[in-house]
C-alpha cells in the first residue's frame, strides 16, 4: 500500500509539472517517503530509495535543476579534503542542484539509505546514483517535495 501511495504522489507531482510546461525528463524527490523518481515523457522510468537531510540539517524543498555532473567527486569541508575513493562521503557521483552545497550523490555509508541521515543532500547507493547519473543531463529539472499529502490532493491523487 505504501508503494502505491508513493507512486500516486509522484505521478500527481509530475502531472502538475508537465501541465505547467515541464520538459521530457524530470526528477521528483519525495523527502517524506525517502524516494526519488525519474520521469520521462510523463512516465515513471525508475524509483530509487534515498537518504535525506537529518532534522538538524534538513533537505531543501522546491524546484531545482541538475547544474553539474561529476564522476569521482572530491569532498571539501573547511580544513579537510577527501579525494575520490572508498572513504569519500559523496560516493562515486555528484549531481549539483544549483543550490550551493546541495546535490544528489552516492555514499560511503549505504546503511543510511532510507533514513534522515545527511547534511541536506539527497544520498543514494552508489550503484543507484551511477544508474541515475547515466540517465540525466545538466539542465534537467528536479523537484524536492516535503508535503506529499498536499501535492497528492492538489494533483487529484490520494
Catalytic residue positions, numbered: 105, 121
Neighbours of 39 (CB within 10 A): 25
Please, are residues 153 and 11 in contact by the beta-carbon 8 Å criterion? no
SS3 content of the chain, % helix, strand, coil (to 5): 25, 35, 40
Q: Cα(93)–Cα(74) distance, rounded to whole angstroms?
A: 10
Q: Cell triple for residue 60?
A: 531543501
Amino acid at each position: 500500500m505504501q508503494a502505491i501511495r508513493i507512486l500516486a504522489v509522484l505521478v500527481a507531482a509530475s502531472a502538475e509539472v508537465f501541465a505547467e510546461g515541464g520538459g521530457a525528463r524530470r526528477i521528483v524527490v519525495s523527502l517524506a517517503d525517502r524516494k526519488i523518481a525519474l520521469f520521462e515523457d510523463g512516465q515513471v522510468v525508475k524509483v530509487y530509495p534515498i537518504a535525506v537531510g537529518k532534522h538538524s540539517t534538513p533537505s531543501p524543498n522546491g524546484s531545482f535543476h541538475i547544474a553539474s555532473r561529476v564522476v569521482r567527486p572530491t569532498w571539501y569541508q573547511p580544513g579537510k579534503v577527501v579525494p575520490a575513493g572508498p572513504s569519500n562521503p559523496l560516493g562515486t557521483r555528484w549531481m549539483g542542484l544549483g543550490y550551493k552545497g546541495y546535490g544528489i550523490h552516492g555514499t560511503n555509508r549505504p546503511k543510511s539509505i532510507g533514513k534522515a541521515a545527511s547534511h541536506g543532500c539527497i544520498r543514494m547507493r552508489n550503484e543507484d546514483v551511477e544508474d541515475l547519473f547515466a540517465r540525466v543531463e545538466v539542465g534537467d529539472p528536479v523537484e524536492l517535495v516535503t508535503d506529499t499529502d498536499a501535492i497528492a490532493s492538489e494533483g487529484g491523487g490520494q
